[in-house]
Chains A and B, each alone.
Chain A
Amino acid sequence: GAGVSQSPSNKVTEKGKDVELRCDPISGHTALYWYRQSLGQGLEFLIYFQGNSAPDKSGLPSDRFSAERTGGSVSTLTIQRTQQEDSAVYLCASNGGQGMSPLHFGNGTRLTVT
């Protein structure tokens, strides 16, 4: 597969539980982004990884959200003590790390917190 892969595609969880969302970027892409898409809110930037640099966490909405990227490839977004307002589609994207390089998006993980 040549595209960005995200798993699971759907996740239903109870309020207060922790969830982990996974992203496999395109091989060789040095930059990886997480966005959140809520109804009527567009795409909200969460966090960005570029190579071995410290990640840009400026978009994370609270300290319940964290992400890591192991070996410069796979990334996991973790949401602790989920709340109903966390329900959204979480999108991962990757590119070659240059500002002009378009983002390649995965199909997202739809998270529903009940």
Chain B
Amino acid sequence: AQSVTQPDIHITVSEGASLELRCNYSYGATPYLFWYVQSPGQGLQLLLKYFSGDTLVQGIKGFEAEFKRSQSSFNLRKPSVHWSDAAEYFCAVGPHNQAGTALIFGKGTTLSVSS
């Protein structure tokens, strides 16, 4: 069965510290992978996506993620967290060669940033 697991429900990081949010997926084919962010009171916004090629992808707001096929992971990282990064983060997986099939989302990780 297709699934996305985000093992950490809630993470607290000090401002300026590095961040890594974990995402593991189970998918029967080569997937598309996405990270979305939902800030308080706002809609979901795409941070970055992986389709093929370089396994390290860069996104907006200084985020990056690395696709590791051997580990079925797509962890999100940021070298130095800002207070404005406090939000809920969702990892999602979609089909590689099937137009428009719905994305499968993880349950999300809530990030709190302490000063």
Chain A residues touching B, range: 20 to 34
Q: Is B27 an interface residue (CB 8 A)?
A: no
Whole-angstrom CA separation of A56 from B99 in the bound complex? 13
Whole-angstrom CA separation of A31 from B105 in the bound complex? 17
* Contact yes or no, A99 B101, CB < 8 A: yes
Whole-angstrom CA separation of A99 from B94 in the bound complex? 7
Out of A42, A59, A98, A106, name the residue touching B102 (CB < 8 Å).
A59
Question: Which stretch of A33-41, A62-70, A71-79 is in the interface?
Answer: A33-41
Q: Is B63 an interface residue (CB 8 A)?
A: no
Q: Is B43 an interface residue (CB 8 A)?
A: yes
* Contact yes or no, B51 A100, CB < 8 A: yes
- Which A-chain residue is minimally distant from B45 (CB atoms)? A105
Whole-angstrom CA separation of A35 from B36 in the bound complex? 14
List residues of chain B with CB within 8 A of the CB of A41: 107
* Contact yes or no, A99 B104, CB < 8 A: no
